[in-house]
Structures are given as structure tokens and as C-alpha cells.
Structure 1
Amino acid sequence: MTPEELAILEKRGYNQDLLPKPFEKRDMGWKNYFTLWMGSVHNIPNYTAVGGFLFLGLSPLNVMVALIISSIVVAAFMTINGKAGSKYGIPFALHLRSTYGDVGAKLPGFLRGCVAAIAWFGLQNFTGSLALLILIGKIWPQFLTIGGDTTLLGISIPGLIAFTIFWAINVLIGFGGGKILNRFTAVLSPLIYIVFGGMAIWAFRVSGDISEILTYDTVGATQNVPIIFGYLMVINSVLAVWAAPGASVSDFTQNAKSTRDQVIGQTASLVVGYIIFAIFSVVILIGGSIHYGIQEWNVLNIIERWDNTPAIIITMSVFLLTTVSTNATGNIIPAAYQLTALFPKKINYQKGVLIASMISFLIMPWKLMENSDSIFIFLNTIGAVLGPVAGVMIASFYFVKKQEINLNDLYMDTSNKNTKNIYKGINQSAYIATIVGLILSLSGQFIPALKAISDISWLVGFGSAFTIYLLLPKKSSK
């Protein structure tokens, strides 16, 4: 858009954070996207998930292959849903409006950008603070005894200090936005592969032989699901991890110099990242388990067993940095943008970061962690919602709108109540498809005969919502 056209949209009440990014202000090439997600792959929950995949009864080699296939599916999802952002320079909030309408976009936007992002931002901060606590304890053992048995707000004094420090670091990265994140990931990515590469070499050496790793028999693998369904479960789990950033990927692709840049960069980032992760994670977890003679799927516990303190400090530090990267890309940045979209005249991006961060602290995520069942129910529910949302978004942009969005109509003057266009109000067909997709994806939780659906709920929700939306009648512009 021309500067004059952007000025008109700004006069309608849209701040700079919501306006379409003109090409001259887009600074992310394929190399930036290549480093963007690679740090997000190597995090503590992902390593733990690999242990869960082995418990499905899949062989280590099958787990590796399933992860690589999953990366291709996720890359396709991210690049396809990211095209609206790279083509028009619009953030997620406006991409969502183009699908659900200006009123209809508020609920799915609130669920993704506020509820899911803010709550998960807090939980990720707490998870990272546990690693930070181990790290500080190795350097300064007396720190762990501060306050004795005293607790404040339901957490120990050392735990609260570690959480506050790690929370503050994440907030500062969030304030920097995409530009700081680009520099951060550019430095972090090489460190990740140096450190985790070293861990993989260590695990390979202490395990005895690669054949010992590839033929490892997981004790307690009770499911023994069919291989094909096991692959679908792995793909679904990986997609669920990327459900939130995948839905709001326009917040990042709006900065792309071209659609080609984001497609090449994101695809290379995810596929290369997951190929390396698939090998490293299986080798590290199984190699460590063989070496210590105990089946261990928590990578932090393996690291803590080392007798080399400098190696522990370096590795834990890199894990902490990957958590910061994941938290920024998947949580605080989308939350800030969504708050900006909900209150465009009162909140800008910086204020959005501050508000989201404060809420994430006040909900006391360590209290949520006391009941793991409630956390998983919460996250599974949010994931089940976002699968259908993504399905409707892609169906709308590619098959209904034929990849064409009228920006003048999309950035409507909301003060003019007589304005009539396709983006105004609520897109009822989109809501119907989303709700039906949600019900189907959650049906396995309530109907025993459909229990298998729970294991592939994201795929079911996405596919059903996508199909139903295309079959329903649509609003037409007048």
C-alpha cells in the first residue's frame, strides 16, 4: 500500500502495529526464517515427548522417521497459512478478521492470543525457571537453602527468585519484538547445534554402539499401536505443538521480504531442524538411559547426572535460551499483538507485552503445575480449538477468497455503522465449521468407542472444519 493509503487506515483508528507492513519495511529474508524456528525445536517438552513416542511401541528408527515426516507436514502448514501475511503484510489479528469477520475474530483471537499464549507463557517460564534453579544450585549451592522451608505465594523463596529472573529475561526479549528475536536466534542456533551435537556424540560413545540405540527395547511400552497409526499419533502430536504459532504465523510472515523467502526459510528451518532433532533426541535419551542403567526420558535428569560441572552449566544455559526463544515466538509476541487488536486505540505492542507479562506472573503458573491433569486438559482443549480454526482459515483464504483480500474493506472504519462488506460482523459459516470440528476432535474424550480420535484430535479437527466450511454457504460482498 502507498503511504497515503496507510495514512487513511491509521485515521480509522488502527495503530502502526496493526497496519499492513509495506515491502520497504519488511526485513526478514529466508535466512532469518531459517534461524527463527530451529531454536524452538530443541526444548525440554519436545525431548520428553520423544520418550512418549517410544512408549507407543515404535522402534527408535520409526520414531526418527515419524518426526522427519511430521516436520514436512508442519512446514507445509506454517508456510501455507503464512501466505496471507507475506502477501499482504497483515498480522494474525487481521488475517483472522478476514476469515471470521471483525466481530467473529474476537473469540478465536482471544483464545489463541490471550488465554493460550499468556497461560503458556507463564508455564514455559516456570519450566525454564526449574532448569535455572538447577543451574544456580550447581554454581552456588547455598542459594537453594535461602529462606529454609518458607514459601511465598505457594513457592519456595529460591524458586520464586529463579522464576522472577527468568520471567524478566523473557519479558525483555518480548519488548524487542521480531528484530531482537532475529538477532537472538541468529546467535542461538549455532550454539544449539554445537552443544546438542556434543551431547549426541557423548551419548553415542557411552551407549557402546549405534546398534544398541536402534534396537533398544523400551520397558513399559504397553500400547504397541499399529505402525501407521503410531505415525499419525506422532504427526498429530508435533502439529499440536505448533498449533498456536501455526495459527498466528502471519505475525511473523508479515515481515517477509517475499512469500518465497518465508516458504524457503520456514521449510528449511523446520525440516533441517527436525532431522537433526530426531537423531539427537533419540541418541541422547536412549544413550543416556543405557549408560546410567535406568530408563530416563527427562533430558535434564540425564544432564544433572554428569560429573562435569562446566558441561552442565553450558548445556543448561543453552536449554534456557531455547526456552526463551520458544516463549517469545509462540507466546508473548502473539499475545501482545492480539491485545493490540482487541484494544487498538488504547494498547500498542509494547503495552501488550507488559500487560500479558504481568498477567502471566499473577496467575502463579507454579500453582497450575501442582495438578498436571488440569494443565493437560487445558492445553488439549486450546489445541483442539486451534486445529479447526486453522482449517477454516486455510479453506477461507485459498478456496473461498482465492488468495485475494481487499485491504480497504478489511481495515474498515468501525465508527461507520452503515458500512457493509464481507468482513463485517460474524461469519456464521466459519463459526459453524469451527464448532463442529471442535466437537468431533473432542468426541474421543467422551465416547469410548471413538477413543482413537483423541490420539489424532488436531488432524480430525483441522480436516473436518476445513471440509465443512467449504460445504457451507458463505457471505457475499454487496
Structure 2
Amino acid sequence: MNINHNLLPINLEKNRILGPKAYIAMWWGDAIMVGSFMLGSSMIPPFGELNLYQAFTALILANILAALLFSLNGRVGWKHGIPMVIQLRSSFGPIGAKFPSLLRAVPALFWYGVQSWLGAQAIDQIFLNLTGFSNVWLWFFAFQLLQIYLSAKGIKSIKWVEIFGAIIIMLGVMYLIFLFLSTFGLQVEETASIDGTWGIPFWLGMTVLLGQFSALFINVSDYTRYFPRKSTNKTFVGSHVIGIVPPMILLPFVGILGAAAVGMWNPVDIMSEYISNVFASILVLFVIALAQVTTNLVANITPTVFVAMDIFKFSWAKSCVIIGILSIFTCPWWIMNAAYFTSFITIVSAFLGPIFAVMIADYYVIHKGDYNVSRLYEADLFAAFKGWNPAALIAILIGTLCSFINMDLSWFMGIIPAGVIYISLMKLWIKNHEAYVYEGMGQHQKVVPYLKKKEQA
């Protein structure tokens, strides 16, 4: 099978360039998403039903769980050095893997455009404040050119942008929290004194907080494959906890403060209406603009580029250019305010929980935590099913139908059914079916059941 070299396993330690500190910085840069402000505000009045303490508890619990789930699926990339598109072949087949890959890549492409537009708006507002000049289209195309250039330079470029961006962004967010507390302290204190609830709204809040990572849970191996293999398990899990929990508490906390103080989640709107401090406004706008770059590089560009390299056989640089151009044609200035875009994202998200369940079940239950990596690069995998694994497709379809029972809990609703069905079908059907692969050459060639073939390190 013709494979792009960027998709091959990263086995040499010198090429695993995201050490614990750099890996944590990458997550700090990626986790700074404008939507996190909205998620935080959705939990307390006037948007939600929790008090300040309950909202903060939900933030801590949800993000610790998220860090553990990242570690769980990310172990594949850490151990074997393979990206998501290769990992999916074990459970979906070399052809079937393209389906979940596209479910991860297409929404990321749209978010790439949306976040670029948000970044351009922030830059435009900065120049409007400083010079009176305004042209959001100019900054949008400039923003895209910058991101295409940075991503095309490769993972090393992304690494340093994330490290630099994480430091600036985290300092800016802490300043924003200080500014809000010093300005709206009394109003925030009132939110802490309401009764709130530890019932269904609390658990729904946790579900929403966890659901924002649903896409990243699937392609976390795209990043862990660069994590040093010599690191201990404690370091690996700890890097996820430190990388996820602090920023994903601070960002929603900003939204909580805004909702508690003035009933608004967007810090830019709050700054413009309630805080007449030009320096503070420019700083916040710069942090938001920078956050769009760091988030796009990790969460939206990287997985989409890997999918483009796998399906269309493009090089890394060419994929970055094409993806950057395509994100412009998603028309973010239009779709970000369209109701059907939210519906589209919601429908796609319903598939993500079941896909995650299948990936986890395949690695830990079917393959006992150890892939025969060389087999994942061979075209005859699941040859009897023409490169598809029907067990995975059936599992995610049924899991997705379960997700639609309650869209507020969709990510959780589909996980258990999908995982149980996948394991059952693999053990009762696929394992005993003539899912043969070829071994040997010429007249010595013979067929061996794929799942019974001796695994090699």
C-alpha cells in the first residue's frame, strides 16, 4: 500500500519532539476556545441553574475525566507512534476507516474557518481602536495566510507556536479573571449564595463540558505519537491532567464570571460595554486572536491534514495549503450564525461517542492493548469484506441511534451500546468468519484468519 511517510510510525525517540512540557503547552494553547466562555456561562443564572460552587465542581470533575479519556485512547499513539487514520484501520478496515476519518475532518474544516473569522474580527477591532482603520476581510485573508504558513512548516513549527501562545494566552486569561473579579466582585458573590442544584442540571453541565472534547478524543493519537516513549505512565497521564484541567477551568470560569456579573458570556462584549479600558480591551482581543491560531493548528488543521494525506495522498505542505483554502469556502461569516450549522455539528457529534467506544474496545478488548502495526499498513486487511469491518459500522450506527434518544446526553448515550455490540460481533462473527489475509509469496502463499494471526511487536 502506498503510504505517505508522515503517516508511518514514529519509532525513533529523537523524532518524538513533544516532551511533557511542550505537550502540556500544546493543550494549553488548544484548550483556549471562545466556545468555552459560552459553556461556562450556560451553567449558572441567567442561562443555567447551578450556583458558583456547583459549576466549579462540574468543571473540575468533567475535565479530570476528559484528561483520563485522552490518556486512554492516546496510549495507541504513544506506544505505536501511529496517527488516528492508521489506528482506525484496525477497527474499521483500511477502506472503512475513511468514514470515521471524514466525520472527524469535515467539522474540523468548518471550525477552522469559523475560528479564523473570529480571529480576524478580533484583529480588526484592535486596529479600529488604535488607528480607526477597519477591514475585516483584509485581516481574514492575512489570518489564513499566516496559519497556512505556520502549519505547512510542520509539527516543529506548531510546537513552538503552541508554547509561545500558551504562555501569552494563560497570562491574558488570568488578567481577564482578575479584571472581572475586581470590577464585578459583588455580583459574582451573589451567584455563590443561590441554592442551585446537584441534580440533573449538574450532570447535564458535566456532559456538555465533556462533549466539547468528543472530536479530539478520537484523534488524540495524532499528538501522543510525538510524546517520548521513554516517559513513564505517570508522566503520560499527568501531562494530560495538567494540560487539560487548568485551562479548561479558567476559560469557562471567565464565562461564569460574565454571566454572574452582567448576564453575558462573551468577554469582548463585556469589555466594550462595561469596562472603558483601552489597554485591557486590546489585550483581551489579542489573546482571543492568538487563541484562534493555537486552537486551529492543533484541533482543526492537524487531524484534517492527516485525513487529506491518507485519502488523497497529498504531502503535508500541500494538504495544509488546500485545507487552508477550503476553509475559506466554508463561508464562516455566514454559517457561524446559521441554525443549520449548529444542527449539522450536533448530528455529526452523535457519531463521535460510538466511534470512540469502538476504538477503545478494539484496542483494549479485541487486541489486548497491543497492535500488530505492520498489518495496519497492508491493503488486504479485512480482505473478505473488501477492506471494511462490518462489526464497526453496525456498532456505530446502532450507537448513534441510541445517541439520538437524548441529544443532551448524546455522547454518553451511544458509548456503551456501541462498545458492547462491537465486542460481541467481533467475537461471535468476525473472529470465526473467513476474514482471511494472505501470508507468504507465490506457491507458498496461504491464508490465515486475521484475528488469529500471531501478533508481532
Once residues 404 and 260 of structure 2 are traced to their aligned partners in structure 1, the CA distance between those partners, rounded to angstroms, is 33
Q: Say if 2:41 is the partner of 1:51.
A: yes
Alignment equivalent of 2:2, drawn from 8, 13, 18: 13
Once the two structures are superposed, the pairs formed by residues 190-269 of structure 1 within 5 Å of their partners are 190-209=167-186, 212-215=189-192, 227-258=198-229, 260=233, 261-269=235-243
Deviation at 1:426, TM superposition (A): 1.1
Cα 1:278–1:356 shift into 2, 3 Å: closer
Mean Cα displacement is larger for which, 182-191 or 468-477?
468-477
- Decide whether the 8 Å contact of 1:60 with 1:213 is kept in 2: no
Deviation at 1:131, TM superposition (A): 2.0
- Decide whether the 8 Å contact of 2:187 with 2:260 is kept in 1: no
- Decide whether the 8 Å contact of 1:118 with 1:332 is kept in 2: yes
1:166-214 deviations in Å (ceiling 9; x for gaps): 2222222322332222212222222223222222222222224487254
Once residues 173 and 216 of structure 1 are traced to their aligned partners in structure 2, the CA distance between those partners, rounded to angstroms, is 47
Partner of 2:389: 427
Identity of aligned residues (%): 26
Partner of 1:467: 420
Q: Structure 1: state its 5+ residue gaps.
A: 1-11, 145-157, 219-223, 290-294, 444-452
Once residues 169 and 176 of structure 2 are traced to their aligned partners in structure 1, the CA distance between those partners, rounded to angstroms, is 10
Once residues 23 and 190 of structure 2 are traced to their aligned partners in structure 1, the CA distance between those partners, rounded to angstroms, is 33
Partner of 1:109: 101
Once the two structures are superposed, the pairs formed by residues 57-456 of structure 1 within 5 Å of their partners are 57-113=49-105, 115-141=106-132, 143-144=133-134, 158-209=135-186, 212-215=189-192, 227-258=198-229, 260=233, 261-277=235-251, 279-287=253-261, 289=262, 295-305=263-273, 306-344=275-313, 347-371=314-338, 373-412=339-378, 414=379, 425-443=387-405, 453-456=406-409
Cα 1:473–1:44 shift into 2, 3 Å: closer
Once residues 172 and 289 of structure 2 are traced to their aligned partners in structure 1, the CA distance between those partners, rounded to angstroms, is 13
Partner of 1:147: none
Deviation at 1:343, TM superposition (A): 2.4
Return the TM-score normalized by structure 2. Answer: 0.87
Partner of 2:411: 458
Partner of 1:38: 28
Once residues 19 and 39 of structure 2 are traced to their aligned partners in structure 1, the CA distance between those partners, rounded to angstroms, is 31
The amino acid of 2:264's aligned partner reads E
Cα 1:174–1:216 shift into 2, 3 Å: farther
Cα 1:38–1:362 shift into 2, 3 Å: same
Cα 1:307–1:420 shift into 2, 3 Å: closer
- Decide whether the 8 Å contact of 1:442 with 1:454 is kept in 2: yes
Q: Structure 2: state its 5+ residue gaps.
A: 432-448, 451-457
1:436-468 deviations in Å (ceiling 9; x for gaps): 11111113xxxxxxxxx2211111122321222
Deviation at 1:278, TM superposition (A): 5.0
Partner of 2:199, secondary structure, is helix
Once residues 336 and 211 of structure 1 are traced to their aligned partners in structure 2, the CA distance between those partners, rounded to angstroms, is 43
- What RMSD in Å do the two structures reach over aligned CA positions? 2.3
Once residues 208 and 262 of structure 1 are traced to their aligned partners in structure 2, the CA distance between those partners, rounded to angstroms, is 38
Once residues 81 and 277 of structure 2 are traced to their aligned partners in structure 1, the CA distance between those partners, rounded to angstroms, is 49
1:261-280 deviations in Å (ceiling 9; x for gaps): 44221121112323444544
Cα 1:456–1:274 shift into 2, 3 Å: same
Equivalent residues, number = 424
- Decide whether the 8 Å contact of 1:63 with 1:278 is kept in 2: no
Mean Cα displacement is larger for which, 297-306 or 269-278?
269-278
Cα 1:119–1:466 shift into 2, 3 Å: same
Partner of 1:37, secondary structure, is helix
Deviation at 1:217, TM superposition (A): 6.2
Return the TM-score normalized by structure 1. Answer: 0.83
1:211-260 deviations in Å (ceiling 9; x for gaps): 72543769xxxxx8x63322322222122211112211111111110263
